Amino acid sequence: MAEYTVDELARAVGGEVAGNGGAVIRSVNGIKEAGPDEVTFMANPKYRAALKATRAGAVIVAPGTEAGASTLIKTPNPYAAFAKILAMFAPPAEAPEGLSPLAYINDKAKIGKGVAVGPFVTIREDAVVGDRTTLGAGTYVGRGATVGADCLIYPNVTVRERVVIGDRCIIHSGTVVGSDGFGFATEGKVHHKIPQIGVVVIEDDVEIGANCAIDRATMGETRIGRGSKLDNLIQIAHNVKVGEGTLIAAQTGIAGSTVLGKYCVLGGQVGIVPHIEIGDGATLAAQSGVTKSIRRGETVFGRPARPLKEVKKREGRVALLEKYFKRVKELEEEVAELKRRRDENR
């Protein structure tokens, strides 16, 4: 079991200790549940009351935070610091060791040093698996595909033919990389399949959640940029380009040939039509239906998606409709009464 002093944890995240730096920490927990040998964090001011009441051995907080008797680790980004410390205590992922005799590895495949391959893995001819990569049970690596070094591919992932995956990538169970793009040419009442002859390129340090589908390009490539993180249940269509460092939440669907810039943020259940561009740093709020290109740095929301300020203004006006409806009804009644009196006086 891992254990560290508070001083050691602070050094690991570049933090400053206020309190007992020699206290021993053996685990991590939430701010309300943590005990004397556990570390927790507070990144949101709404948890100040919980900070005062916590029994945690140490709390990671922002500079300027005070908490009475609690030992604090002060750092500019408490959430990022907690993520680093959490990794220090996290148990190693369940993984095979060595090459399972139950795996099929084609003689023409190239396997790097220190690779771990679980049972019932298939690695086809001319595939390449980089050094120290782990392939979980039941994973398929297709003909001519490349998986880089230090990757963690969980059980039952499908990496189709000629797909390229960079270094230090993580792909969770059930995901398919390189499935055919949805392309058909309609002639009369017949839909003719368009062969999907392109590839998928996943750059370095990408993490892809469970049960995602990333389609190969019709021609050329579908590309996921370096450092991007994809949640579970995401559909990336053919020829989509996702820029570096982009975050995409669950159940998002991105239609063909759309281009996302760098460091975009897409909330859950966002839907994007084909052939548009999303500028660098744009934020698409949850359940947005995006039907046209979005400018750099813009935040949008709604169906169809519009600038957030515009949506808030419109929603504010909608909230007043009932009040205005009642007022109009009162005015109509007043006008009717005035007409009645006028007619009586004629």
Q: Which two tokens stand for residue 291?
A: 């039907």
> Residue ranges of the alpha helices (H) in the chain?
6-13, 48-53, 78-89, 308-319, 321-344
334: left (phi over 0), alpha (psi -120 to 50) or beta: alpha
Identify whether 304 is preceded by a cis peptide bond (ω within 30 of 0): yes
Q: Which two tokens stand for residue 255?
A: 């239609």
Q: Which of 172, 192, 238, 275 is catalytic?
A: 238
DSSP state string for 244-286? TT-EE-TT-EE-TT-EE-TT-EE-TT-EE-SS-EE-TT-EE-T
Count CB neighbours of 148 within 10 A: 21
Distance between CA atoms of residues 29 and 249, nearest Å: 24
Distance between CA atoms of residues 253 and 101, nearest Å: 39
Residue-range domains of the chain with CATH: 4-89 (3.40.1390.10), 104-308 (2.160.10.10)
174: left (phi over 0), alpha (psi -120 to 50) or beta: left
Please report how many Cα atoms fall inside a 13 Å half-sphere around the Cα of residue 226, on the Cβ side.
2
Q: Is 191 assigned a catalytic role? A: no
Give the helix/strand (H/E) hosting 60: strand 58-61
Annotate 237-271 with b (16+ C-beta within 10 A) or e (fewer).
Answer: bbbbbbbbbbebbbbbebbbbbbbbbbbbbbbebb
Q: Say what the pTM is.
A: 0.87
Please report how many Cα atoms fall inside a 13 Å half-sphere around the Cα of residue 97, on the Cβ side.
1
Q: What is the pLDDT of residue 346?
A: 73
Mean pLDDT by 10 residues, the chain (346 residues): 92 94 94 94 87 92 84 94 94 84 98 97 98 97 98 98 98 98 96 97 98 98 98 98 98 98 98 98 97 96 86 79 87 87 81
Q: Which residues are within 8 A (CB) of 277 and not within 5 positions of it... i.e. 6 or more apart?
A: 258, 259, 260, 261, 293, 294
Cβ–Cβ under 8 Å, residues 4 and 27: no
DSSP state string for 163-195? -EE-TT-EE-TT-EEEEPP--EEEETTEEEEPP
Distance between CA atoms of residues 121 and 131, nearest Å: 17
Q: Which two tokens stand for residue 105?
A: 């590895």
Cβ–Cβ under 8 Å, residues 267 and 286: yes
Cβ–Cβ under 8 Å, residues 203 and 224: yes
Q: Rounded to whole angstroms, what are the CA distances from 162 to 80, 95, 113, 151?
A: 36, 25, 21, 17
Distance between CA atoms of residues 15 and 13, nearest Å: 5
Q: Which two tokens stand for residue 179?
A: 């499935």
Q: What is the pLDDT of residue 176?
A: 98
Cβ–Cβ under 8 Å, residues 96 and 155: no
